[in-house]
Amino acid sequence: MAVLIPPTQLQFGSRLLQQLLRRKEANVFVSPASVGLALGMAGAGARGKTLAAFEHALGASTTLLADWSERLLTGLDSLPPGVAVEIANSLWAPARAPLSAQYTDAMRQRYRAEVRNLDFTAPGAAKVVNDWVARATRGQIDNAVDHISPSTVLMLVNAIYFRGLWQDPFESQETVDQEFTTGSGSVTEVRMMHRRASFLYMEDSDLQAVRLLYQERRFSLIVVLPRKPLPPEAFRDIAERTSLARIISGLDRRQGALGLPKVRLAYSADLVPELVEMGLGPAFAQDADFSGAFERNVSSFISQVLHKTRLEIDEQGTTAAASTSVEMSLSASLAPPPRPFRMTVDRPFLVVLTDTRADLILFLGVIGNPTS
């Protein structure tokens, strides 16, 4: 089954990853779906040049984003056995905040968002939000926000949880200790899983790529491995939209032997600098226009976009989780079959976790050290 991801959705995830790779960190692992949903809710309340900035940065109109959200959430009402996906959205505001009834109704309908009152000046305000995210991610992320500024007038939160069992699990007795060259060039020891089978695979002179299916084949994990070790920041060209599209479209059935490290990592980033680079600057300016979210004139701007993720890959499958909090403050041919390939992921690699039914990238990242 081909993975068909709309150009705008692929482009947003690609641009976000490319921006974050500039930080030269050991790992970058993000959820374009989580960030897109949280920003889509914020953008629905924007007007004027602020709205235009959202639509430029996200690559789609806020109406289209809301349509995509509805289709995505409806598609999760029926999931295949062996796969669990949970997406939750919420709006938090003080009781005194004059939120627009039209805006909150749209968030409930289009994003299935919970609308809750919260006193951001209370000592336990951050814990209330963190407990909500922990429940939504089954405990994978329990500290989505570190603190909440007393000047906050609205907080938009998304949480995503994914658990998928492989269509064909790795045999645990085939997992062995093996060296892995990290993005910094040092060598560490990882637990390397091995499997010989027929895979969806592609290769060229620069890289190899393989697609691993979860049960019932709706969801999949694509692993992209350069021919030589690269630091994560050098993955920017590979992470470019047209490059990812070429890799994904080039996958074809082929026999081979795969070695894939077990992964366990956590990642966190305030995305404001990257989103400004992507054109969302007006939303972070003091004169931002979010009048669509409020009944009367409330001068507000986005002060923080905090994104946190976790990823675990083992012999049975994959667990991934993400949270995004947006804090708004006041002011085929008959040729002979090719030889079996060998792909051992013993150096930095890129991963793309997709939902083929919703044409969606759930998670995307570059793993420079799988044990970090």
Delimit the domains of the chain by residue range: 27-164+265-327, 166-262+337-367
pLDDT in tens, 121-172: 998 999 999 999 999 999 999 999 988 988 899 999 999 999 999 999 999 9
Residue 95's pLDDT band (boundaries 50, 70, 90)? Answer: confident
d(C-alpha 162, C-alpha 29), whole Å = 14
Of the options 3.20.20.70, 2.30.39.10, 3.30.590.10, 4.10.220.20, the CATH number for the domain spanning 166-262+337-367:
2.30.39.10
**Which of 117, 88, 115 minimizes the C-alpha distance to 102?**
115
Residue 357: count of CB within 10 angstroms of its CB: 16
- Mean pLDDT calculated for residue range 83-109: 94
Lowest-confidence region among 8-12, 133-137, 280-284, 328-332: 328-332
Write down the pLDDT at residue 3.
Answer: 46
CATH H-level superfamily of 27-164+265-327: Antithrombin, subunit I, domain 2 (3.30.497.10)
Task: Using the predicted structure, report yes or no on whether residue 229 has a pLDDT greater than 70.
Answer: yes
Task: Using the predicted structure, report yes or no on whether residue 311 has a pLDDT greater than 90.
Answer: yes
Write down the pLDDT at residue 295.
Answer: 87
Write down the pLDDT at residue 333.
Answer: 39
pLDDT in tens, 246-293: 999 999 999 999 999 999 999 999 999 999 999 999 999 999 999 999
Task: Using the predicted structure, report yes or no on whether residue 301 has a pLDDT greater than 80.
Answer: yes
Residue 296's pLDDT band (boundaries 50, 70, 90)? Answer: confident
- Mean pLDDT calculated for residue range 207-233: 94
- Mean pLDDT calculated for residue range 308-337: 86
Write down the pLDDT at residue 97.
Answer: 83
Q: What is the DSSP string of 255-298?
A: EEEEEEE-EEEEEEEE-HHHHIIIIIHHHHSTT---GGGBSS--
Task: Using the predicted structure, report yes or no on whether residue 61 has a pLDDT greater than 70.
Answer: yes
Task: Using the predicted structure, report yes or no on whether residue 359 has a pLDDT greater than 80.
Answer: no
Instruction: Compute the radius of gyration of the chain from its Cα atoms.
Output: 21
Task: Using the predicted structure, report yes or no on whether residue 335 has a pLDDT greater than 70.
Answer: no
Write down the pLDDT at residue 261.
Answer: 96
Residue 337's pLDDT band (boundaries 50, 70, 90)? Answer: low
SS3 content of the chain, % helix, strand, coil (to 5): 30, 40, 35
pLDDT in tens, 97-109: 889 999 999 999 9
Write down the pLDDT at residue 6.
Answer: 52
pLDDT in tens, 176-195: 999 999 988 999 999 999 99
Write down the pLDDT at residue 361.
Answer: 86
Residue 344 CA: distances (Å) to CA of 141, 223, 225: 30, 11, 9
Strand duo 300-313 + 219-226: pairing: unpaired
Higher-pLDDT residue of 6 and 191 is 191
Residue 231 CA: distances (Å) to CA of 189, 208, 346: 17, 17, 13
Question: Average pLDDT of the chain?
Answer: 92
d(C-alpha 5, C-alpha 171), whole Å = 31
Higher-pLDDT residue of 91 and 1 is 91
Write down the pLDDT at residue 360.
Answer: 81
- Mean pLDDT calculated for residue range 305-320: 97
Amino acid (one-letter) located at 155? M
pTM for this predicted structure? 0.91
